Structure 1
Amino acid sequence: MPGLLRGIARTAAVAGTATAVHGRIQRRQDAKFAQRDAETAAKRDEAYAEQTAPPPAPVAAAPVAPPPSATSDRLDQLKTLGELKQSGVLTDAEFEAQKAKILAG
């Protein structure tokens, strides 16, 4: 009978030690996973805040001078063309051809 009690006592000591070690490992893992979950939640919240933040106000660009109008360019070209015709440099046919090009462009 003393051998049986000694065996039971040894089994109880081993089981108690195993339970204590297991409990300590479990607590360490729980703490590690809790820290990892907190970091993941913080990153997720930060990403969500970036996505839902209103876009920054657009920066006003310097005003751009409007390009010269095509109409005024055409008028100037037609005036020059008319002056060339009046001075005799262009014939009527040449005048009409150049005028058609200006008005088509």
Structure 2
Amino acid sequence: MLGRMGRPGLIGLAARTAVVAGTATAVSGGIASHQANKANQAAEAQAWEAQQQQAAMNAAAAQAVAAQQAAAPAPQATAGGGSDLMAQLNQLAQLHAQGILSDEEFAAGKAKLLA
């Protein structure tokens, strides 16, 4: 018995449609997965760059504070004593408020002045 010639039957058409639909779904799923991976890699790269920039800014701020502290003369004890200390504490507070000093750096500077 020979196969049917001409147009495919209903079952053959349904099978062909299923194969085409399955292939299209697999291809689009692969493309979506590839695009999601690329987006994740770009986001990770951007986060890493931001982290490196923040670290560089923190290092520059720490160097600026160290240079400022090294350039500033040692506080002298005076009979009045309080106004110079208050000025230095206010300066530390301003640097902390501007974000130049971290909480830990501010606490260390304050402890050094009050010691």
Question: TM-score if structure 2 supplies the norm length?
Answer: 0.43
Question: TM-score if structure 1 supplies the norm length?
Answer: 0.46
Larger radius of gyration: 1
Q: Choose between structure 1 and 2 for higher RCO, CA contacts under 8 A separated by at least 6 residues.
A: 2
